[in-house]
Structure 1
């Protein structure tokens, strides 16, 4: 078959020549009789179908200078179009400048005057020329270099003029396509907005009936929404409502996809204008329906649009009425399921669900749809920690919903809230004013009229301490954005010190039930959690949720660890709990009273035990005052008739764990001697506590609490005792006594020894037979009795080292306090078991030398239990198993000169040393506590 005969239009040069001629000379010219087409028409058709479509064709067209005549041709063509009529009320502006300044186009019906004035009078040749030229330009604008060239050559304004003047679907479609391709770059997008194309696009969007043209218009609007400023401009010029109306009316799947993609772009950072237009256009119900669309792209876009709309409070009630709450909750639950995607896909839905909690009608739907459980799962998820502050702020919306609060408490909200008080800063993104609750929409009148229900609410807020006065509340108040009150005037300040506010609790803390009149109420990131905890603390019996280890630890960690003065609300919560009789047993069972004393009064937090953690300087004196006040509140409850009955029941009829907790807590909260003596001494509470020391610890700080409890009880038993210094050791080197054995050791002993003792090492030690016989019944029988040794001048002493024998020989010859007893004692830090000290003690007992035993024990105490000794030495001394040393260890442990940490560490060493043999330890501690051998007015906290 012969090849087709080449034609002139196969040459790009020929086509560019015709295009240039038409741009210069005009659109006229005769037709070719063979093809019934003008040369320009054939050139444009060849450019569109062959040259531009070919591989690399757009680049060749641009580099050969084709864009300049093409744009010139479009300018000539737009100038040849008849001007649109100005008669109709819905007609478009007569110029691009007026189009740019016009307001939103009408949203109903086409513009017949424009159609009749431009479409009917447009010649067929001009129409075809525009179609082909616009198609070529739109194809070229898919390339970045061409877009920049068209922008440089001023090609945007002719396109906007054609869009304004020619109301033909095909030309509108190609013009919008060219503008949409240009809008893929931000600079071109700005130029299109400045040229006033948006009102024209909106007008064409309303008037057009062709689905393909509508898709192109929608795509162009989507590309023009490339920045927050442009999205706002599109919404303000009425671009959203026509899209919403089309979405509600169109059955075309392709157009539906284009519409949801455009609405998704327009709703990013959703403005008020966007939300209003989408709602007025009836787009909410279609979007909810499309959330279950079989096509994933449509489904996910619709869901994200709904999530974006939640940023505007004015549309959230209508969104809930349309079923948006259930849709967003279901989608978030699905994304958090076993096949969950990453956190990034959940973030907009979490934000939307939290914003939905700001209106009562949506909170009810959310609660019924399982939203509370979902929010709680987010709080428990460490991977969602960045959203925890937002979730807690959302839960504040349920502050007055008793049923929801009960459900949240049952789900374990309180310990999670306590953990949030000192957590890491998370997603603290500020919402705009438009995101505030729509339950109290902003009034447009200059003066707001307060309804009776609001006055009642404000009165309740003031009475409960949530507001300090009428000025702190307004009809648009919502718990999640409690404003800070203005600072007091200088004349109102009660203290000239401008430093941080004191931790001293206000007077209202000491008398619960009165309204708070604090000058300031800080509202930081912990504010929502504290507000919810305060609401829980106002229940008749909040003990089950708030008087627990995790909840108390969270509150105390916030009070002591806040970078500035803590919120007075936290102090009120603690005061409210300690003043509630229903919480007394919970404070006892949970070791709450011991925790208050440890953390606030003594300054030892759980993280400081057993290893001390470095902490910045704290306001310990202020914390101590707060702790003493809270313990005083518990004392008032404990010493009331109800409290006495409750404590007696716990100690006598409670479980073993309750009995131990009660015995440990009593010294902290009981000051009446008749009460603590009856419970702790007469009814065996002290022995219950002592017997529990060697059992598995029921609390991480149990031994610390126990040491402090025993110390407090000792102070109660002997309140007037003064700190006693350690008893003087006879062998104290500072006051040595004369040595009576030393004269026997010189080269000329006086008197001369009449006896020598032979040790296993071969060492001979001189001695006097008479002195040795007199000092001990053992040696009297050995040396003066019927044993063979009575006739020997060299008597062997088996199983005795020289160091152990040295204090024995000194003692036999009358030395008391000469320092010989210190010889076998190893220095601090070295073990006593297996040492020469233990050997000497054993020998003193074997040789019936009780005085020497006592002297050696005092020497051990002097070396290992002195003022500079550490807690580790206490257990080492106790392991020797001697009652007097055990009592000495107990005295050192409970001595007032020890700081609380050393006291607790020493008790820990005693418990480890005692092992399963608890009798000696119990008796030693009992004797020291009851004997009042070392009292004191209070512990020293300087470790």
Structure 2
């Protein structure tokens, strides 16, 4: 087969020479361009179809200098456009001189133009030449080096001029394609915007009918939307509405994909102009329909456009009417499903759904479509913690939707809100003013003139509780400039009566300073503001106990009040005061150990995180606010006391104690010392009706609350103060201090080399040690030794009497006691130092020996010695359990007295009670009796009150 004969156009050099000649370079004089049109056409065709498309062809074309003559050719073509009077009114005409001087021209000669400037449309040969040249340039601009070279040679302005003057679809198509490729770099994009290409592309978009040309124009506009500034410029120059109108015309699939991709870029950070044009162009309905398109790219782009549009409040109602709420909600539900996408893809949809909650019409649609459940799922998801503040702020929109609030409460919103009060702030950025609710469109009121519509709005705000009076709102007020305020909350009663608690805030925690009137005081609105507003709304229900008077909710509120870096929001304080003043919440405070929690956290300064290991916190912060928190806690407990001592409260507490479940009865018995100050009431419930013994018996049972033993220790201490108020102020020392001043020792003279008097008896220990003794003194000291040494036993005739099972250290205090020593210090000998176990020690052996030898005085002295060493003021709470394990009733009473002492640290008291419970094990009787003895003051010889059930 014969090989095809080579042609001149197979050579890149030949083609470049033809291109250079046509551009007026390298040729002398003014050659007639018409004589070169056929060779030029063949060269351009070869360049497009063969040389540029070959591997590395674009790089070779650029390296051989092909871009300079190609741009010169296009520059001459741009100078051949019609006069400005023949240009369409919507275009931006460019003069021939400016077009010719825009870039570095190859030469300064004035060779003839390719076509006459008087012709309104280029001839066929010129169109073909432009088509080929523009196609080559567009292909070259797919590479970055060529784009930079075109920009350096000033090739953008000729393209814009061609786009302006040559209205042929094929030329418009290739020019837009070249501009679109150039716009892939920010520097070129800036130059294209500056050259005025956007209005020309918009004009072409509205005039062209060819799908390929429209796709190129749409792509160019999409690439030109590379920054917020450029997107805003495109929207302001009317680029969005034609795109929306084309989308509404149901174009072919390829153009549809190009349109949604362009609209997606233009709607990023959606501006007001973009939203208005898209809505006016009828694009909302088609976008909602395309959200179910079979092609994934079209479907996802449409959904993201709808999400971007939600940033503009003015379009959200129309978006909801078009079905956008259901589309966005359904897509977010799908992405959060088991087979859904990651968190990054959910972020724009979460933002959109939250913004849709700002209008009432969309809130209704969202509620009916399962949006409340979705938002609650986001709040429960720890992986979505960055969105939690945004979600809580969105739920504020349902503040006056009673049905939605009820549903949210059932779904568990309250504890989640309480947890949000002290959570970490999310990374979401603030929304702009244009994202504000369109239920309250911003009014233009120049010169602060109050229009009639403003007066109507102000009246509505006052009636709905957003403002206290006309003075709170100025004519330039708008909802997005200030946080929403809650409805008017109950004011402090002027003269509270018996049975009505005081709804007030501690003076130290009030925000207004001296001289500031309530009408001009603005409450702080931090990141916790939305959560507190919702919690306040829940607290205003007739019976908020089921949601708010629970452990998680109270812990969240108290953690915020005590942990806020500055003064806490007064709304949180009012919520707590409102709850403690509501009679319907009394039983809930008792059942949930809420009163004990208030006292522990606020009055005693011990939070749940501080138990049992003390949490490291700055001492300055604790000391700075400790007095304020104590004042708040005492006020809240006083509110509960007023409720408890009312006829309703007495009946409720009596019912709980006598007829409640076992857990409720224990909680009631524990709470009574905190909220009952009337002696007749607490004596009847705790003493006559067995509440105290019920509480004591529950100590060794499984704890119904993590802080139960801490609460119980505090409750028993408070009850002790109620039973013996004077004794609580000056409690006698637990251990006599006589041991600090020892008396003379009477046994020591028998131990010297010349004993006085001579011992007539020796006791032999198991270790072989012989201890001298006086038979008469030993027989007198104890009935045991009197029978042993002066009776009919063989030991009565022996001079060396064995004492079995006794170590020297344990025998030492026995011998001292037998010879009359009282308080000489011998009893301290067998006592180990604090921190060492007592069980199995010589102290336990000495106590056992004192009991075996019938020496009650020695037993008491040894017990006092144990208490002196192990139950001193500076001893650790762990020593209390060690002492209790000895099983001595008097030592058990000493342990209870040390634990419940009036000056004892609350945390040490609770740790000591923990040790007592662990030491008691299943034998609850000794511990119960010891605590009962101390609480009721029986060890002082007083008559015990009635403790019947």
Same fold (TM over 0.5): yes
- What's the CA shift for 1:867? 1.1
Asked if the contact 2:47/2:136 (under 8 Å) is kept, the reply is yes
- What's the CA shift for 1:481? 6.6
Asked if the contact 1:833/1:880 (under 8 Å) is kept, the reply is yes
Structure 1 residues 680 and 36: CA distance shift in structure 2, 3 A: same
- What's the CA shift for 1:910? 0.4
Stretch deviating more after TM superposition (412-421 or 31-40): 31-40
Structure 1 residues 100 and 795: CA distance shift in structure 2, 3 A: farther
Asked if the contact 1:803/1:836 (under 8 Å) is kept, the reply is yes
Q: Secondary structure at the match of 1:489?
A: coil
**CA distance, structure 2, for counterparts of residue 799 and residue 853 of structure 1:** 17
Structure 1 residues 164 and 840: CA distance shift in structure 2, 3 A: same
**CA distance, structure 1, for counterparts of residue 57 and residue 494 of structure 2:** 83
Structure 1 residues 48 and 460: CA distance shift in structure 2, 3 A: closer
**CA distance, structure 2, for counterparts of residue 633 and residue 486 of structure 1:** 23
Q: Secondary structure at the match of 1:517?
A: helix
Asked if the contact 1:62/1:146 (under 8 Å) is kept, the reply is yes
Asked if the contact 2:467/2:473 (under 8 Å) is kept, the reply is yes
Q: Name structure 1 gaps, 5 residues minimum.
A: none
- What's the CA shift for 1:444? 2.7
Structure 1 residues 648 and 283: CA distance shift in structure 2, 3 A: same
- What's the CA shift for 1:452? 10
Stretch deviating more after TM superposition (729-738 or 349-358): 729-738
**Is residue 915 of structure 2 the alignment partner of residue 905 of structure 1?**
no
1:381 aligns with: 381
For each residue in 1:400-431, what CA deviation from the matched residue of structure 2 results, as whole angstroms up to 9, or x when unmatched? Answer: 10000000000000000000000011133101
Q: Secondary structure at the match of 1:113?
A: coil
Asked if the contact 2:499/2:642 (under 8 Å) is kept, the reply is no
Structure 1 residues 849 and 605: CA distance shift in structure 2, 3 A: same
For each residue in 1:762-820, what CA deviation from the matched residue of structure 2 results, as whole angstroms up to 9, or x when unmatched? Answer: 11111111111111111111111111111111111111111111111111111111111
- What's the CA shift for 1:935? 15
**CA distance, structure 1, for counterparts of residue 92 and residue 16 of structure 2:** 35
- What's the CA shift for 1:506? 5.8
- What's the CA shift for 1:17? 1.2
1:154 aligns with: 154
Asked if the contact 2:764/2:800 (under 8 Å) is kept, the reply is yes
Asked if the contact 1:874/1:910 (under 8 Å) is kept, the reply is yes
Q: 1:525 aligns with which of 524, 527, 551?
A: 527
Asked if the contact 1:310/1:352 (under 8 Å) is kept, the reply is yes
Structure 1 residues 67 and 632: CA distance shift in structure 2, 3 A: same
Structure 1 residues 31 and 71: CA distance shift in structure 2, 3 A: closer
Q: Secondary structure at the match of 1:116?
A: coil
Give the alignment of 1:159-558 within 5 angstroms.
159-446=159-446, 467=467, 469-473=469-473, 482-483=482-483, 505=505, 519-558=521-560
- What's the CA shift for 1:886? 0.5
Asked if the contact 2:502/2:639 (under 8 Å) is kept, the reply is no
Structure 1 residues 456 and 127: CA distance shift in structure 2, 3 A: closer
Asked if the contact 1:100/1:197 (under 8 Å) is kept, the reply is no
Asked if the contact 2:838/2:882 (under 8 Å) is kept, the reply is yes
Structure 1 residues 60 and 158: CA distance shift in structure 2, 3 A: same
- What's the CA shift for 1:520? 3.4
Structure 1 residues 558 and 877: CA distance shift in structure 2, 3 A: same
- What's the CA shift for 1:857? 0.6
For each residue in 1:723-776, what CA deviation from the matched residue of structure 2 results, as whole angstroms up to 9, or x when unmatched? Answer: 556658678453111111111111111111111111111111111111111111
For each residue in 1:178-229, what CA deviation from the matched residue of structure 2 results, as whole angstroms up to 9, or x when unmatched? Answer: 1111001000000000000000000010000000000000000000000000
Structure 1 residues 741 and 884: CA distance shift in structure 2, 3 A: same
Aligned length: 942
1:917 aligns with: 923
Q: Name structure 2 gaps, 5 residues minimum.
A: none
Structure 1 residues 508 and 930: CA distance shift in structure 2, 3 A: same
Q: 1:814 aligns with which of 805, 812, 820?
A: 820
Asked if the contact 2:465/2:487 (under 8 Å) is kept, the reply is no
- RMSD over aligned CA atoms reads 6.7
Asked if the contact 1:730/1:817 (under 8 Å) is kept, the reply is no
- What's the CA shift for 1:7? 1.4
Asked if the contact 2:225/2:234 (under 8 Å) is kept, the reply is yes
Asked if the contact 2:472/2:520 (under 8 Å) is kept, the reply is no
- What's the CA shift for 1:76? 1.2
Structure 1 residues 728 and 670: CA distance shift in structure 2, 3 A: closer
2:59 aligns with: 59
Stretch deviating more after TM superposition (351-360 or 725-734): 725-734
Structure 1 residues 624 and 935: CA distance shift in structure 2, 3 A: farther
Structure 1 residues 479 and 75: CA distance shift in structure 2, 3 A: closer
Structure 1 residues 441 and 307: CA distance shift in structure 2, 3 A: same
**CA distance, structure 1, for counterparts of residue 582 and residue 327 of structure 2:** 44
**CA distance, structure 2, for counterparts of residue 123 and residue 592 of structure 1:** 92
Asked if the contact 1:240/1:263 (under 8 Å) is kept, the reply is yes
For each residue in 1:875-930, what CA deviation from the matched residue of structure 2 results, as whole angstroms up to 9, or x when unmatched? Answer: 00000111100001000000122100000000000000000111111111111111
**CA distance, structure 1, for counterparts of residue 263 and residue 945 of structure 2:** 69
- What's the CA shift for 1:19? 1.1
Stretch deviating more after TM superposition (844-853 or 488-497): 488-497
Stretch deviating more after TM superposition (231-240 or 772-781): 772-781
- What's the CA shift for 1:457? 8.8
**CA distance, structure 2, for counterparts of residue 363 and residue 107 of structure 1:** 67
- What's the CA shift for 1:445? 3.9
For each residue in 1:241-267, what CA deviation from the matched residue of structure 2 results, as whole angstroms up to 9, or x when unmatched? Answer: 000000010330000000000000000
Q: Secondary structure at the match of 2:764?
A: strand
2:592 aligns with: 590
Structure 1 residues 728 and 73: CA distance shift in structure 2, 3 A: closer
- What's the CA shift for 1:80? 2.1
**CA distance, structure 1, for counterparts of residue 716 and residue 530 of structure 2:** 40
For each residue in 1:529-552, what CA deviation from the matched residue of structure 2 results, as whole angstroms up to 9, or x when unmatched? Answer: 000000000001100000000000
- What's the CA shift for 1:121? 3.8
- What's the CA shift for 1:485? 11
Asked if the contact 1:78/1:161 (under 8 Å) is kept, the reply is yes
For each residue in 1:661-706, what CA deviation from the matched residue of structure 2 results, as whole angstroms up to 9, or x when unmatched? Answer: 0111111111111111111111111111111001111111000000
Asked if the contact 1:211/1:255 (under 8 Å) is kept, the reply is yes
**CA distance, structure 2, for counterparts of residue 31 and residue 340 of structure 1:** 68
- What's the CA shift for 1:483? 4.0
Asked if the contact 1:313/1:436 (under 8 Å) is kept, the reply is yes
Asked if the contact 1:110/1:208 (under 8 Å) is kept, the reply is no
Asked if the contact 1:754/1:768 (under 8 Å) is kept, the reply is yes
Asked if the contact 2:266/2:274 (under 8 Å) is kept, the reply is yes
**CA distance, structure 2, for counterparts of residue 560 and residue 817 of structure 1:** 51
- What's the CA shift for 1:472? 4.4
Asked if the contact 2:598/2:637 (under 8 Å) is kept, the reply is yes
Q: 2:883 aligns with which of 871, 877, 880?
A: 877
**CA distance, structure 1, for counterparts of residue 294 and residue 193 of structure 2:** 36
